[in-house]
Copies of this chain bind each other. A is one copy, B any other.
Amino acid sequence: MDTSSPSPPPCAINVLVVIFSLREDTLRVLLSANGNDWQLPGQPLAEAELLEACALRAFQQQVDSPEVYLEQLYTYGAINAPGRQAVSVVYFALLPADSRIETAGGLHWFRIDELPPLRDNHAEIVAYALRRLRYKLEYSAVGFELLPEEFTLTELQHTYEVILGEKLDKRNFRRRILEAGIIEETNRRRMRGEGRPARLYRYRPDAVAEVKARRLFP
């Protein structure tokens, strides 16, 4: 079998990015205006370009931030492409909560429970990305990507609560996260002016962050 077809049909490979961040105490997605509806930021794949590089390009076209957590989500056979090949490779990106970023014009952070009409199958894509984010939160340390480098335990717990959409017990949360050895104390504290200052913690990237899922069968 020869996988390099001699004369390939007309084709479009696009890379889309679902950008999540915590803003105003809610989980939000960055969308760009497109006529009457909205769409995910995206870029056509350039010649000989790596997929992740293209995703980063699509991200940085909208957001002025040098670093970002990017992960490939899924590839959709593009709809509305009769007579040619077409796919959308989708990535999701996580942006720290306090990052004061510049966003290009025509962009808006939408609450994930108040999305506007979206073009093509982008609503389906956002829904799937959210499911994956929630799921991933349960077995990996991906939640730290939504926080600044130093954070208090209360802030961390709050992040989890917002994404999972449920309240968590403060003592159990602290016990488990400290036992997991995944964060470390700093000597700094955060003064908010009122009440006792909270100790700041830092994520330990060297910690083994994936936990084995509980097996369905032995």
Contacts and interface: CB of A to CB of B under 8 A. Distances in A.
Contacts of A14: 3
Interface stretch (A22-30, A93-101, A110-118, A209-217): A209-217
A133 to B, nearest CB: 14
A160 interface: yes
Contacts of A89: 75, 87
Given A34-B1, A139-B216, A217-B176, A74 B77 contact: no
A75 B77 contact: no
A208 B89 CA distance: 29
Contact of A11 (B85, B173, B211): B85
Given A77-B49, A213-B135, A172 B12 contact: no
Given A1-B42, A77-B51, A180 B216 contact: yes
A216 B83 contact: no
Given A138-B216, A139-B216, A13 B85 contact: yes
A131 B43 CA distance: 30
12 contacts: A1-B61, A3-B14, A3-B42, A4-B12, A5-B12, A45-B85, A49-B77, A75-B87, A139-B216, A140-B216, A173-B217, A211-B216
